[in-house]
Amino acid sequence: MTAIRSLLGRLPIDAYMLLLIATVAFAFVLPARGIGQDIAEDSVLVAVGLLFFLYGARLSPAAVWAGITHWRLQSLVLASTFVIFPIIGLAAYWGTRGWLPEGIAIGLLYLCLLPSTVQSSIAFTSIARGNVPAALCSASVSNLLGVVLTPLLVAALLHSAGGGFSLRAIEGIALQILLPFVVGQVARPVIGKWLVAHRTLTSVVDRGSILLVVYTAFSAGVVAGVWTSLSPIDLAAVLAIDLAILAVILCVTTALGRWLGFTVEDQIALVFCGSKKSMASGLPMATILFAGHSVSLIVLPLMLFHQAQLFACAVLARRYARRPEGGEGDAVPA
């Protein structure tokens, strides 16, 4: 066992990344089906609820209010999600038409029109020791606005019919995110100090919830046959474009955070909230917005991007977390 730990310590990848890779491999070999899929999805809901309960119990009301009123950061996250991303998506759409299937070109643009994730954005911000209250506000507002803005952007840029305001999406955000957080705030006077003294619990829930999201998302792709719907060359091309989109948005958000003089904690929140796209919102929306189209092809770029963003952000979060306590520095550690 000592020899294995020594070997892992010398690898250029940390143990958590190895767990992510192992989770993807496990999902590919043994994806959740039927009752197993229901259990996996329910486990994600429970993990997300527990995670936000812990956030609520740990964060002071003053910190939460400071995050909500940080209008410069909130505005920049929304601009990244619904302005900068769509511009990148249009470039990808027009650049791939003709040499990739039309559904893939549409999917690349559709990916860039989606709201940010909530759970993983906040979890990675927490792991990286960033501004969690601001990330909570940014990601939640992005997801709520996306219910309206994404269908409008799809209609405007792709001339696609359908979509609209979904009360179910708002209910989902309220029940899965806001309610546990509020309950945690209520319980804070009783358990808040204990949780601050036992940070490992929140850390385990942070990382465990992301592993559950990865397994459930990748399993869904395997069961739906998304990963085998294209030739290996086309699949590699889509992955390469997704990685290029992710690299561009990470560089843009990092540069903007530094240029505007944000603190390291705020830069972290901007990078993680402004560079993500929500598969949880994107998949159900696609079935409505693109009824009659090849939905499996349209959502493939989103499926691949979702996996890529989790891996990339896991690496970044671990690098951020290694900076000295209370230290200053760039948003992306050297």
The reply to whether 6 falls in a domain is no
Whether 96 is covered by a domain: the verdict is: yes
pLDDT for residue 61? 73
The alpha carbon of 226 is separated from its chain's Cα centroid by a whole number of angstroms, namely 20
- The string of DSSP codes covering 111-142 is HHTSPPPSHHHHHHHHHTT--HHHHHHHHHHH
| Residue at 204 is within a domain | yes
Whether 301 maps to a domain, the answer reads yes
Tell me what pLDDT residue 307 has: 81
pLDDT per residue of the chain (334 residues) written in tens, 0 to 9: 455 455 445 544 556 667 877 888 898 888 888 888 888 878 877 887 787 788 778 767 766 666 667 788 888 999 999 999 999 999 999 998 888 888 888 899 999 999 888 778 888 898 888 888 888 888 877 776 776 788 888 888 876 434 444 455 456 656 766 788 788 888 888 888 888 777 777 778 877 877 787 788 778 778 877 667 678 888 899 999 999 999 999 999 999 999 999 999 999 999 999 999 987 677 767 766 775 556 667 878 888 898 888 888 888 988 888 887 754 444 444 3
Any alpha helices (H) in the chain, and if so which ranges? 2-10, 15-29, 35-58, 61-68, 71-79, 85-96, 102-112, 119-127, 132-158, 167-173, 179-197, 199-224, 232-259, 264-274, 279-289, 295-321
Range of the domain at 177: 15-29+36-321
Beta bridge partners of 100: 97
Cα separation of 260 and 267, whole Å?
A: 10
Q: Is there a domain that residue 77 lies in?
A: yes
9 falls within a domain: no
For the chain, what is the domain count?
A: 1
* Residue 224: CATH number of its domain: 1.20.1530.20
Domain presence at residue 332:
no
In a domain, 1, yes or no: no
